[in-house]
Amino acid sequence: MAIDSNFDQNRERAGEENGVAVWGPVEPPEKLGIHGTHVAVDYDICLADGACLENCPVDVFTWVDTPDHPVSEKKVEPTNEDQCIDCMLCVDICPVDAIDVDASRQA
């Protein structure tokens, strides 16, 4: 199941972590929600293979720890989503479709 590309309409904003918006539901450690707005990562399906972080030409992503999450104990945070150039490489290489980039959504 891929990230909901309309999460900003279908989910409530649950707060902020590391300067990044978090969209619920959030019930740690199992449900961590979607992190980011312009560049969004669904933490509930991200398996942390690191392809997006390693291949992003403008270093949008950083690692964050997510202890006891059933899929992986670390995730990629779109910490620098304001630097995104909308190349869509992260969307294209994510093996589980956990990332969505939408130029109409602003961080």
Report yes or no on 64 lying in a domain: yes
Report yes or no on 104 lying in a domain: no
Provide the domain limits for residue 86.
7-97
Q: Which two tokens stand for residue 5?
A: 């590309």
| CATH code, 48 | 3.30.70.20
Overall pTM > 0.85:
yes
pLDDT tens per residue, range 29-52: 999 999 999 999 999 999 999 999
Amino acid at 19: G
Report yes or no on 106 lying in a domain: no
CA end-to-end distance (rounded Å), the chain: 24
Residue numbering of the annotated binding site for [4Fe-4S] cluster: 56, 84, 87, 90
Report yes or no on 12 lying in a domain: yes
pLDDT tens per residue, range 2-20: 999 999 999 999 999 999 9
Residue numbering of the annotated binding site: 35, 46, 52, 56, 84, 87, 90, 94
Report yes or no on 88 lying in a domain: yes
Report yes or no on 13 lying in a domain: yes
Report yes or no on 107 lying in a domain: no
